[in-house]
Amino acid sequence: MSRYFLVFLMSIGILFSCKSEKSNQEKSTEKPNVIVILVDDAGYIDFGFMGSKDLQTPHIDALAKSGVKFTDAHVSATVCAPSRAGLITGKYQQRFGFEANGTGGIGLSDDVTTIADVFKNNGYNTFALGKWHLGENESDHPNKRGFDEFYGFLSGSRSYFPLEKPSKEKMLQHNGKRIVFNGYMTDVLGDQSVKFIETSKDKPFFMYLSFNAVHTPMQAKQEDLDRFNNHPRKKLAAMTWSLDENVGKLLKKLDDLNKRNNTLIYFLSDNGGAHNNQSLTGPLKGWKGNKFEGGHRVPFILSWPIEISSNVSFDGLTSSLDIFSTSISAAKIKNQKRLQLDGVNLIPYLKGEKQGHPHHKLFWRKLDESAARVREYKIINLKGFGSVMYNLNKDLGETIDLSQTHSKKFDTILSVYKTWENQLINPLWIEEKPWMDVTWHIHKQLMNNKNPEYKDIWNPNFLNKYKK
The DSSP letter of residue 106 is T
Average pLDDT for 352-366: 97
Using pLDDT thresholds of 50, 70 and 90, give the confidence band for residue 393.
very high
Residue 422's pLDDT is 98
H or E segment and range at residue 301 = strand 300-303
Residue 9's pLDDT is 43
Extents of the domains making up the chain: 31-350, 361-467
CB-based contacts of 203, cutoff 8 Å, min separation 6:
123, 124, 125
CATH homologous superfamily for the domain 31-350 = Alkaline Phosphatase, subunit A (3.40.720.10)
Rounded distance between C-alpha atoms, residue 452 and residue 60, angstroms:
33
- For the question of whether the overall pTM of this predicted structure is more than 0.85, the answer is yes
Region 361-467: CATH code: 3.30.1120.10
In 3D space, the residue among 130, 125, 177 whose CA is nearest the CA of residue 154 turns out to be 130
pLDDT, tens digit (0-9, with 9 covering 90-100), for 403-431: 999 999 999 999 999 999 999 999 999 99
Among the residue ranges 45-54, 144-153, 350-359, 456-465, the one predicted with the least confidence is 456-465
Q: Mean pLDDT in the chain?
A: 94
pLDDT, tens digit (0-9, with 9 covering 90-100), for 274-314: 999 999 999 999 999 999 999 999 999 999 999 999 999 99
Residue 4 has pLDDT above 70, yes or no: no
Q: In Å, how far are 88, 268, 341, 343 from 322, measured between CA atoms?
A: 10, 12, 9, 4
Which SS3 state, helix, strand or coil, does residue 290 take? coil
CB atoms within 10 A of CB 401: 20
Residue 141 has pLDDT above 50, yes or no: yes
Rounded distance between C-alpha atoms, residue 78 and residue 460, angstroms:
24
Share in percent of the chain as helix, strand, coil (round to 5): 35, 15, 50
Residue 462's pLDDT is 95
CB-based contacts of 425, cutoff 8 Å, min separation 6:
94, 95, 96, 97
